Structures are given as structure tokens and as C-alpha cells.
Structure 1
Amino acid sequence: MASILYVCVRPERGAADAEHVSFQRGLGVAALDQLDLISDPLTDELLSRHDGFVIGGSPFNVTDAVKTPLQQRVEADLERIAARALSGEAAAMFTCYGIGVVTRLLGGALTLERPESTRASEIRTTDEAASDPLFGPSAPALTVFTAHKESAVAVPPGATLLATNAACAVQAYRVGTQLYATQFHPEPSPQDFANRMTFYRNNGYFDAAEFDAVKAEILAAQDVGGEDLLRRFALTFG
């Protein structure tokens, strides 16, 4: 792969900087280009220059009833990246908030009725994932970090379900061969995720009064497998 671009959609600067480091480590690359969509729009030059995109999480929700012009522009830019991956001109992995953008683009529905709190969760790979270059080697299950308010009701039209669990039916899917979307966060280590909690303590992802207990559970997580997916993403499309 000529280059991979990390696309930031977090308004919180400290959380965004740490997420960039996490993605770079997970991908196993010496350097990782960055675009902060909160401050800079996606240009045609950036879109065409990179062959791979990894999109981080955000406190935004696609189902937000009221959206600022910034959020509307961010979602439009993410759709442009998704369209490029759908065309086969690039590869992309959308995470967390990004799966909502892709699901809506594909004509799927989103719900606020299946949230997951901040925790380490086991997800199961599907039969269709067995031949997938990213998820196949992780079968039949892997542990990842979750924290979201909205999720896809079902796998959207044209997508192949790759991972699921009882709490969230659509944990990951692929569209075509080069567009991936995950509801979970593949990039953080337990320490990364515990550190991120401090930025979102009062955002409703967990009971703020239980911060210490939730943090302890996160730090105790074993054999987290999200980074393996990122490493395979870089190797597969390299």
C-alpha cells in the first residue's frame, strides 16, 4: 500500500492524538498520515493520494436529531471515502461512528436500542468470515473493546456480516472486497482504552460513579485481538 491515512473525527484533541498513536501501532507502520476532519475538510488531493484509510471513533452519532454544519460536513467526507472503497480504488476500515455512516449510505437502518457500555467484549465470527483475510484468522471469536450508543439494526444491503454477539447483532461487516466497518474499536490496548475513558467520563458510555471499577475491568482484559485485524488490513492491502 502506498500509504494509509488515519482520519480523525474526535473533537477532543487529547483523545484524538492518542487514537492516532494506537492506530499506528496496530497497523505496524513506521509512520501514519493523519487528517483531522474536525479542523480540515477532505480534499480531492488527499482522497486520491492514499490507497488506504482507517477511520477512528467519535462522540457523534449518525442518529443525532440535530447536527451542526461541522458534523454534516464530516459525514459527507466520510461518505466520499466509503464511495472510493466501494469502487475498489482504495481500502478502508470504518470504526465505531463510521459504521453508522456506512450503514446509512448503504440504505441500512440504525437503532439506539442496542448500546454497549465501555468494556471488553467477546465477538463471534460468522461462517462467511472464514475466508475473509482479516477476520478468518481470528475465528471463531475474539475479544475487542466496545462503547457505543447506536448500532446497525441488521447487516445493510450488499454487505457481508463478519462478526456478531448477543449484545450487538452487527459487530463487523465487509462490502465488496475493500470496505470494512466495525462497531467496536480495533486499535486500543487495555491501557489506551482506559486512558480514553477519562475524556468521555460524562458522555453516557458508562456510569461516571463507577469509573474506577470500569477502568479496572478494562485494564484486566486479556488477549485483545483488534490490533491483529489492523495488522492484517495493512498486510492484505499492501
Structure 2
Amino acid sequence: MRPFLLLASREHDVVADDEYRAFCEYSGLGPEQLHRVRAEAGPLPEIRLEDYAGVMLGGSPFTASDPHESKGGVQRRVEAEISALLDRIVAEDFPFLGACYGVGLLGTHRGAVVDRNFGEAVGPVKVRLSAAGLADPLCAGIDPVFDAYVGHKEAVRRLPPDAVLLAGSDTCPVQMFRFRCNLYATQFHPELDLAGIERRVDAYRHSGYFPPREAEAVKERARGASVTEPQKVLRNFVRIHAG
């Protein structure tokens, strides 16, 4: 089968490698089946969509909705290059799944209002599938209400009319959405497990997600949840599009 592509943009090596580990593990793909490109490390290479079965986009310390002038040069380059790739992905309705940062990039690309009104603290939240989510193939086999790990400063405040809302939470009304047939984004992290969130708490404790002195309390909250359902999104994405 054709491999899948993971676009990453985490410059923290430990977190980046753990993210890749989790995407491989929970999608069921081996390293030879999930090619990784670290966009923050340098210009994107030529990407031929026909060489891949689908594209996944991981999370990022970048915040897509920040004013352009406040973004560093690396972030501006990464977002310009991914936006150009999204032009092609959207035009072809090519299988795409963006996690967390993907909400900002795909949402902005398609005209959603993305801002800081619905940021969520690092840790578990209860996510609820909508009626459309219950019927969507990417949510097959997922409990209607499930725990997921989040941690984000921005979120979608308003989706455009051509988007389909698939899931939300009490603190963030848009947790998952779809454009057309094959373009998806989740605000929660479908790849994130307890080991992964603890590594990210350590790596990003000074990045404004929580007061640094509360890092151990954040980990303790994460340990209090059973997060097993979100990973099914990755398995479904691969099952549907592998060929």
C-alpha cells in the first residue's frame, strides 16, 4: 500500500519523536508506512500527493491565529508552505487529518473564525459526538462521550456553512469537524496517551499553557482519566484510506 505522510512542526526533539511514536502506534503504521517531515527543520521538500494514501498533521507550539507580525520567521514559513499544500489537498479532497494545530490551519484555510475564546487547559476533557459525528466513518466504534487530552490556546469559534461539526465539549464547542468528504481536523489529540502528555508537560511548562509551578498537578489530572477512544480516529483514518 502507499504510505501515509505525517507533517510535524515540533522543534523539541523528545516531544517530536514521541509524537511520531504515538502516530505510528495508534494508527497501526510502521515507520516505513508513515513518512515524517519535520516542517520546522527546513523548507518542505516536494510532496507528490499521489505518492501517499493520506496526510496527517501533528500538533505544534505555534498558534495559527496569532497576528502575522508576532510570528517568528520559522512559523511564517511553515504556515505558508502548509497553506500552499492545503490548496492542493482541498482542491482534490485528498484524505487529510489535522490534530490540534490542524484545527487552526485547516479552519483558517476554509474560512472558519479561529481565535482564543475557547482555549482549554492541558489535561482531559469530555468530548461528545454530534449526530453527524455518530454517523461519520472516521468516528466508527467510538463511544458517543469519551475522554480526550487537550491543551490549546486557540480554537474554532465559528465554522463556515460548508463544514460539518462532528464533536464538541463543554469548554470548546468545536472539537472535531469535516470539510467535503475527506478533510478532517480534531481539536483534541487523537495520538496522545498518558506518557505523551507527561512529556509535553515537561517540555512546554514555560510556554504559557499553565503556570510552571503547576506542572505536577497537570500531570496528576491527566492520570485521572482513561483516554482510549480518540486513538480510534487514527485507526479509522488509515483503515478507510489505505489501499
TM-score tier (shorter): over 0.9
Matches of 2:145 and 2:81 in 1, distance apart? 33
Contact between 1:110 and 1:151, CA under 8 Å: does it hold in 2? Answer: yes
What's 1:115 paired with?
Answer: 119
Q: CA deviation at 1:207?
A: 2.3
Q: Return the offset for 1:87.
A: 2.9
Structure-2 separation of matches of 1:225 and 1:172: 14
Matched to 2:157, the amino acid is V
Which residue number corresponds to residue 130 of structure 1?
A: 134
- Cα distance in 1 for partners of 2:182, 2:85 equals 11
Instruction: Tell me the residue number matched to 1:146.
Output: 150
Aligned partner of 2:60 in structure 1 is: 58
Distance 2:106 2:205 in 1: 27
SS of residue in 2 equivalent to 1:119: strand
| d(CA) in 1 for partners of 2:24, 2:221 | 25
Contact kept, 8 Å, 1:85 with 1:178, in 2: the verdict is no
User: Counterpart of 1:53 in structure 2: which amino acid?
Assistant: V
User: Are 2:113 and 2:158, in contact at CA under 8 Å, matched by a contact in 1?
Assistant: yes
Distance in 2 (CA, whole Å) between partners of 1:41 and 1:135 is 34
Do the aligned partners of 2:111 and 2:160 also contact (CA within 8 Å) in 1?
yes
In structure 2, the residue corresponding to 1:77 is in which secondary structure? helix
Q: TM-score, normalised by structure 1?
A: 0.93
Letter in 2 for 1:33: H
Q: Confirm whether residue 84 of structure 1 aligns to residue 107 of structure 2.
A: no
Paired letter, 1:84: R
Q: Distance in 1 between matches of 2:10 and 2:227?
A: 27
- Which residue of the partner structure matches residue 189 of structure 1? 193
**2:31 equivalent to 1:37:** no
Paired amino acid for 2:139? F
Per-residue Cα deviation, 1:118-168 (whole angstroms, up to 9, x for no partner): 111111000111221111421412211100001111223421000001100
CA contact (8 A) 1:106 1:157 kept: no
Tell me the residue number matched to 2:204: 200
Structure 2 counterpart of 1:173: 177
**Distance change in 2, residues 1:203/1:225 (3 Å):** same
Give the match's secondary structure for 1:169: coil
For 2:123 and 2:219, the matched residues in 1 are separated by 9
After superposition, the C-alpha distances for 1:88-145 in whole angstroms (9 at most, x for unaligned) are: 3631111112211111111121121211011111110001112211114214122111
Q: TM-score, normalised by structure 2?
A: 0.92
Deviations 1:11-42 (A, max 9, x none): 21221111011111111012221101011322
Equivalent position amino acid for 2:89 in 1: A
Q: Determine helix, strand or coil for the equivalent of 2:92.
A: coil
Equivalent residues of 1:191, 1:219 under 8 A apart: no
Which residue number in structure 1 is paired with residue 74 of structure 2? 70
1:51–1:89 Cα contact (<8 Å) kept:
no
1-side partners of 2:57 and 2:104: how far apart? 12
The answer for the alignment partner of 2:18 in structure 1 is 18
State the identity as a percent: 31
Q: Does 1:234 align with 2:235?
A: no
**2:220 maps to 1:216:** yes
